[in-house]
Amino acid sequence: MAAHGMGATRKRMDQALNALRRELGTLRTGRVTTALVSTLRVDAWGTRMPMEQVAQITVQQPRGLVVTPHDPSLVAEVEKSLVAAELGCSPRIDGGRLRLEIPAPTEERRIELKKQARDLAEQARVAMRLARRDAVNELKRRRASEEISEGKLHGRSKDLQELTDEHVAEVEKALRDALAAIDE
């Protein structure tokens, strides 16, 4: 496990963290964000495309979203995607744009969202532990074939644990932020 091995492990952990942040952003929390609809798929020009590629999405406080298709002929398709997403509200067409007033989640829904957020965070932590385990196993294999010394094995194992701890701390921060957003 040369420097590239540590880099590959860091990349796997970064990917797990980015996936967590993306997933947490799509939870319908107490805070309205463009992430609620940005990845919804829209039938446009003969293909299914992410909403963010076919429309401008803006937040309108306190609980509103405005979706403005780049091509006015896509208003009906964008509306169809928004309705299918079951956001708890119906889009209202206003000229060439759609307006959504996102209702605040009920207490029961907040509890469910918090559970989902915690589950997503645990999946990210597991992915990071697996990346660390794979890297440590590779170090042990290299030590057994005498490619690296016992000292290097120990030092790199320690580096891997520090890398894991840093990433898990980022998971905890993302989870805290998501739980706070759910309570807003």
List of domains in the chain: 3-25+106-183 (1.10.132.20), 31-101 (3.30.1360.40)
Query: What is the percent of the chain where pLDDT is above 70?
Result: 96
- Rounded distance, CA 104 to CA 3, Å? 48
The region of weakest confidence among 4-8, 13-17, 132-136 is: 4-8
Among 174, 35, 33, 28, residue whose Cα is nearest residue 110? 28
Q: Between the ranges 6-10, 88-92, 104-108, where is the mean pLDDT highest?
A: 6-10
- Rounded distance, CA 178 to CA 118, Å? 9
pLDDT in tens, 48-79: 999 999 999 999 877 789 999 999 999 999 99
Q: What are the C-alpha distances in Å from 81 to residues 38, 64, 170?
A: 11, 17, 33
Query: What is the percent of the chain where pLDDT is above 90?
Result: 64
Query: In this predicted model, which residue has the larger pLDDT, 8 or 2?
Result: 8
Residue 33 pLDDT level (bands cut at 50, 70, 90): confident
Check whether 1 has a pLDDT greater than 50: no
Check whether 156 has a pLDDT greater than 50: yes
Instruction: Please count the other Cβ atoms lying within 10 Å of the Cβ belonging to residue 111.
Output: 12
Name the strands in the sheet holding 97-101, side by side, starting at the edge strand that comes first in the sequence: 55-60, 64-69, 97-101, 92-94
> How high is the pLDDT of residue 22?
87
Check whether 158 has a pLDDT greater than 50: yes
SS3 label, residue 174? helix
